[in-house]
Amino acid sequence: MAYKIKITVKKIKGYCPLYKVGDTIIFDKYYIDSSKSAPVCIHALLSMTSVVYAASHGVNLDDIGIGDNPDEGYINCPDPGPPLTKGGTVLFKIERISGY
């Protein structure tokens, strides 16, 4: 069984030129549903792919240490933000929302 995964921008520290709080990205099986999703930053995508893959295949997110709920977890993009960069870090919530 594969699961649909919803990623939501929860918080931004510093400056992110792409995302705003509340933006969502939907992974539907192995694809990003571009009709329902914000654009995807390559840096953020790199930080979320292994977690999205695991969650979409039934791994509990609390078991891998990124939340306290089997169907919800949190990750950050890798940009550390000020004072180290001009950008900012984005906190993403990952939710398993349905199965196939």
Query: What are the mean pLDDT values of the chain's consecutive 10-residue runs (100 residues total)?
Result: 91 93 91 87 90 93 94 94 89 86
pLDDT, position 98: 79
pLDDT, position 29: 78
The total number of structural domains that make up the chain? 1
Q: Which domain holds residue 73?
A: 3-99
The predicted model scores a pTM of: 0.91
Q: Phi and psi at residue 79, in whole multiples of 5°? A: -70, 120
The Cα 62–Cα 95 span in angstroms is 12
> Which H/E stretch holds residue 73?
strand 72-76
Question: Helices marked H in the chain — which ranges?
Answer: 42-56
